Amino acid sequence: MKKFYIASSFKNIETVRTVSERLRQEGFTHTYDWTINNNVNSIEELRDIGKKEMDAVMGSDFIVVLFPAGKGSHVELGIALGNGIKAYLYSQNDEINDLDKTSTFYHVDGVCKCNGTVEELIQTILKEQYR
Protein backbone atom coordinates (compact mmCIF):
# COMPACT_ATOMS: atom_id res chain seq x y z
CA MET A 1 0.00 0.00 0.00
CA LYS A 2 1.09 3.58 -0.50
CA LYS A 3 3.05 5.49 2.12
CA PHE A 4 2.55 9.08 3.28
CA TYR A 5 4.12 11.75 5.46
CA ILE A 6 2.34 14.71 7.06
CA ALA A 7 4.12 18.05 7.46
CA SER A 8 2.70 20.78 9.67
CA SER A 9 3.30 22.68 12.88
CA PHE A 10 2.62 21.66 16.47
CA LYS A 11 -0.36 24.06 16.32
CA ASN A 12 -2.07 21.47 14.13
CA ILE A 13 -1.16 18.35 16.07
CA GLU A 14 -4.74 17.12 16.43
CA THR A 15 -5.47 17.62 12.73
CA VAL A 16 -2.24 15.79 11.86
CA ARG A 17 -3.32 12.88 14.02
CA THR A 18 -6.83 12.88 12.53
CA VAL A 19 -5.58 12.82 8.93
CA SER A 20 -3.03 10.14 9.78
CA GLU A 21 -5.64 7.95 11.45
CA ARG A 22 -8.08 8.27 8.54
CA LEU A 23 -5.44 7.45 5.93
CA ARG A 24 -4.18 4.50 7.97
CA GLN A 25 -7.77 3.23 8.23
CA GLU A 26 -7.80 3.22 4.43
CA GLY A 27 -4.68 1.03 4.38
CA PHE A 28 -1.98 3.66 3.83
CA THR A 29 1.26 3.61 5.86
CA HIS A 30 2.45 6.67 7.80
CA THR A 31 6.22 6.81 7.36
CA TYR A 32 6.95 8.82 10.52
CA ASP A 33 4.78 10.45 13.19
CA TRP A 34 6.71 13.47 14.42
CA THR A 35 3.87 14.38 16.81
CA ILE A 36 5.40 11.96 19.33
CA ASN A 37 8.39 14.28 19.77
CA ASN A 38 8.23 16.58 22.76
CA ASN A 39 10.67 18.12 25.20
CA VAL A 40 13.56 18.19 22.75
CA ASN A 41 16.55 19.43 24.73
CA SER A 42 19.58 19.19 22.50
CA ILE A 43 20.96 19.73 19.03
CA GLU A 44 21.65 16.00 18.86
CA GLU A 45 17.95 15.25 19.39
CA LEU A 46 17.03 17.78 16.70
CA ARG A 47 19.53 16.16 14.32
CA ASP A 48 18.07 12.70 15.01
CA ILE A 49 14.51 13.92 14.43
CA GLY A 50 15.57 15.76 11.27
CA LYS A 51 17.13 12.59 9.87
CA LYS A 52 13.99 10.58 10.63
CA GLU A 53 11.82 13.24 8.97
CA MET A 54 14.03 13.39 5.87
CA ASP A 55 14.00 9.61 5.54
CA ALA A 56 10.21 9.59 6.04
CA VAL A 57 9.63 12.17 3.29
CA MET A 58 11.98 10.32 0.93
CA GLY A 59 10.22 7.03 1.67
CA SER A 60 6.76 8.41 0.96
CA ASP A 61 4.62 8.16 -2.13
CA PHE A 62 3.03 11.47 -1.20
CA ILE A 63 3.12 14.10 1.52
CA VAL A 64 0.39 16.22 3.05
CA VAL A 65 1.22 19.74 4.23
CA LEU A 66 -1.33 21.17 6.67
CA PHE A 67 -1.36 24.96 7.04
CA PRO A 68 -0.40 26.90 8.97
CA ALA A 69 2.94 25.22 8.51
CA GLY A 70 6.34 26.12 9.86
CA LYS A 71 9.88 26.30 8.48
CA GLY A 72 10.43 22.56 8.73
CA SER A 73 7.27 21.84 6.75
CA HIS A 74 8.52 24.01 3.92
CA VAL A 75 11.85 22.19 3.91
CA GLU A 76 9.96 18.89 3.77
CA LEU A 77 7.85 20.21 0.89
CA GLY A 78 11.07 21.12 -0.94
CA ILE A 79 12.51 17.66 -0.36
CA ALA A 80 9.34 16.10 -1.74
CA LEU A 81 9.11 18.33 -4.80
CA GLY A 82 12.80 17.96 -5.56
CA ASN A 83 12.37 14.20 -5.59
CA GLY A 84 9.15 14.03 -7.60
CA ILE A 85 6.97 13.12 -4.61
CA LYS A 86 3.34 14.28 -4.88
CA ALA A 87 2.34 16.97 -2.35
CA TYR A 88 -1.13 17.84 -1.08
CA LEU A 89 -1.32 21.31 0.45
CA TYR A 90 -4.29 21.92 2.74
CA SER A 91 -5.53 25.25 4.01
CA GLN A 92 -8.94 25.60 5.55
CA ASN A 93 -9.22 29.24 4.46
CA ASP A 94 -7.43 29.08 1.06
CA GLU A 95 -4.38 31.10 2.17
CA ILE A 96 -2.43 29.03 -0.34
CA ASN A 97 -3.88 31.21 -3.10
CA ASP A 98 -3.53 34.53 -1.25
CA LEU A 99 -0.89 36.51 -3.18
CA ASP A 100 0.41 38.06 0.05
CA LYS A 101 0.97 34.67 1.72
CA THR A 102 1.61 32.19 -1.08
CA SER A 103 4.86 30.74 -2.39
CA THR A 104 5.82 30.04 -5.99
CA PHE A 105 6.32 26.40 -5.00
CA TYR A 106 2.67 26.00 -4.00
CA HIS A 107 1.75 26.28 -7.68
CA VAL A 108 4.18 23.96 -9.46
CA ASP A 109 3.53 20.56 -11.01
CA GLY A 110 3.20 17.82 -8.44
CA VAL A 111 1.24 19.99 -5.99
CA CYS A 112 -2.47 19.54 -5.34
CA LYS A 113 -3.98 22.48 -3.47
CA CYS A 114 -6.94 21.71 -1.22
CA ASN A 115 -9.17 23.87 0.95
CA GLY A 116 -12.42 23.32 2.79
CA THR A 117 -12.84 20.63 5.40
CA VAL A 118 -10.34 18.01 6.47
CA GLU A 119 -12.76 15.36 5.20
CA GLU A 120 -12.71 16.99 1.75
CA LEU A 121 -8.90 16.84 1.83
CA ILE A 122 -9.00 13.15 2.71
CA GLN A 123 -11.52 12.41 -0.05
CA THR A 124 -9.32 14.23 -2.58
CA ILE A 125 -6.31 12.17 -1.52
CA LEU A 126 -8.25 8.90 -1.66
CA LYS A 127 -9.69 9.66 -5.08
CA GLU A 128 -6.28 10.51 -6.54
CA GLN A 129 -4.32 7.75 -4.83
CA TYR A 130 -6.77 4.99 -5.74
CA ARG A 131 -6.65 5.81 -9.48
* pLDDT, tens digit, 9 for 90 and up, residues 41-95: 899 999 999 999 999 999 999 999 999 998 999 999 999 999 999 999 999 888 8
Instruction: Kindly state the helix (H) or strand (E) to which residue 111 belongs, with its residue range.
Output: strand 111-115
CA 24, 52, 8, 77 torsion: positive or negative? negative
| Residue-wise pLDDT tens digits, 18-33 | 999 999 999 999 999 9
Compute the half-sphere exposure of residue 131: CA atoms within 13 Å on the CB side of its CA. Answer: 5
Which domains does the chain carry? 3-129 (3.40.50.450)
